[in-house]
Structure 1
């Protein structure tokens, strides 16, 4: 199905309107969204994506509709994985919780711009050189292998090379000034940490685009489907962040599931490249008759792998223990450093969550409590947080 310029125009206008609505009605006034608000708007954006997919299915046919849903689900799963990194960056920069929405919306907009550029560049490369499918396939297989490696704790630090350069050569302030990007310190204009956060988010968006775009091109070469599936997967990501905050660590097997999906799509790309082969040093430049993976099978594998991954993470005792300990540490760290936020209600909110996590930890076996590599350090942080709370109540 060829998509007319009119349909393209309407689609782009609708996406821009959704982003504008998100800003003017939710982000403009800094606030901490409630769980109910995050759940409602997450459901609305997922519902819009599903409705759009049904429209594609009706007017574009079953193949085009299947490609859209396979691409949307894959990109959504990769987007959830992105939230882990966003969480680390904002925790490292101690972004006030009431201002995190603005950072997330910037990340979504920048990701959409970056991925749109990669989409059209990828389409041009594929149309010009069919052997690019080999390159995309190898990229995904390498990425899948990297997801299975142990994460380097140093990689969680938001003070990456670009940020260090910015701090060294640009005049930056140590404190936030609401959600402003610039402030005045000692009579001089200075960058606030908010701008540095956005630089860090933008840099990670570029890296994520290098993985996500080859992945969706492995499912469909229809540029309209690639663009819309990517755009709708990013819509509602801000609300999903607040909905899943505290639960992200629970998905301990998500990286394995994503690795399996990316490896599957990588193999699919390589098989397609062999089928379309015109490289002279492979089979004399002739096509190779290999089995090609259908869209229906791709959709089934993606949904199946994600379902198994999520269920395994939720029922795993190790996953529950790791989640509780990681959340307890994060809440203790936030409680011990409440000077970064102007919302005084955060103190009791965070301490309440800390107590809930501690109750879960107390109900675990000693084996699971001590399985975390930083268990001793976490216990010390919890004890310090309790002392600080007693001091606060004794004022």
Structure 2
């Protein structure tokens, strides 16, 4: 069994965590202090910022530690970024089903992704520790990813209805709630009772969906590297850019009809790589090329199909509220 090696010194860990905290504070405290609907230009700008920061960080890894860690980070980031796109499909369904106004969607995603950062960190360190102690789990992870990829392929046309799932049914039974919105608040008071608004229900579904997607994405990156710093930073950069990517693509998710085929191919590939890791060594650069190729072909094929398909009414990422929000 290989010994665990990491490029992350205490100073790098501290600096990166401080950077994440500062960016989150800047996001919520300055740019989104007042609730507003995020438009295409704003989403494009923030997406460019997050991708640029990830590439600058990648260049820093290359300069400091060489090509190996840099290629591992870029491959891991591409895997996490591509798999996070699948989250967007689910987020669109959640906001549409619960009729969350575009005005409040950023607030739900912010707190959902903030909790996802903590959960991902716990799952990453637990996964690294488990693989170090029980090496045979890598074969379990590999088989799980292969089965997940095949399931995604065969169920690619199945519609998601998270609002009807067991998580939402349990939440509605245990948490007193109301269909009425109260501005951007997660709770409101009606007849002296404190009730959850639809925003809290949307937040619960967003967090639950992220946990489910993490079960795929975190084992997938272990096929590339087991360096906890590389795994953590690539995950976090992908998650931090998820909100802006949602607002950028939410109105066009139907155009990417073959994306799930590409994602299923990525999962099968990385699962196979994990399953044969002790017998066949695949260079990180080869993995990067295969993953980029699978995603690139699926995106191009999707755009060609959408161009040749007659237009129809798009799926809206949010609808008007059930009742007029009260002033707060």
If the length of structure 1 is used for normalisation, what is the TM-score?
0.77
Kept in 2, the 8 Å contact 1:313–1:319? The answer is no
The gaps in structure 2 that reach 5 residues or longer are: 1-5
Distance 2:168 2:248 in 1: 29
Picking from 264, 274, 283, the partner of 1:294 is 283
Residue 246 (structure 2) aligns with:
241
Match of residue 20 from structure 1: 25
1:325 is matched with which residue: 312, 318, 328?
312
CA RMSD of aligned residues (A): 2.0
- Deviation by residue 1:301-359 (Cα, 9 ceiling, x = unmatched): 111111111111001158744xx3350xx35994xx565566xxxxxxxxxxxxxxxxx
- Does residue 188 (structure 1) correspond to residue 177 (structure 2)? The answer is no
2:236 match: 231
Q: How does 1:1-395 map to 2 (within 5 A)?
A: 2-150=7-155, 155-272=160-277, 275=278, 290-317=279-306, 320-321=309-310, 324-325=311-312, 327=314, 330=315, 334=319, 339=322
Separation in structure 1 between the aligned mates of residue 297 and residue 141 of structure 2, nearest angstrom:
26
User: What are the Cα deviations for residues 36-70 of structure 1, in whole angstroms up to 9, with x where unaligned?
Assistant: 11111110111000000000111111111000000
Q: CA contact under 8 A between 2:80 and 2:238: conserved in structure 1?
A: yes
Q: In structure 1, how many angstroms separate the alpha carbons of the residues matched to 2:111 and 2:303? A: 31
Higher helix share goes to which structure? Answer: 1
Deviations 1:136-167 (A, max 9, x none): 10111011011112357564241321222222
Question: Is the CA contact 2:72–2:230 (under 8 Å) kept in the aligned structure 1?
Answer: yes
Larger RCO: 1 or 2 (CA < 8 Å, sep 6+): 2
* Counterpart secondary structure, 2:195: strand
Larger radius of gyration: 1
- SS of residue paired to 1:189: strand
Taking the aligned partners of 2:155 and 2:129, their CA distance within structure 1 comes to 35
**How many angstroms apart in 2 are the aligned matches of 1:331 and 1:134?**
41
Q: Which runs of 5+ in 1 are unaligned?
A: 276-289, 343-395
Alpha-carbon deviation of 1:170?
Answer: 2.8
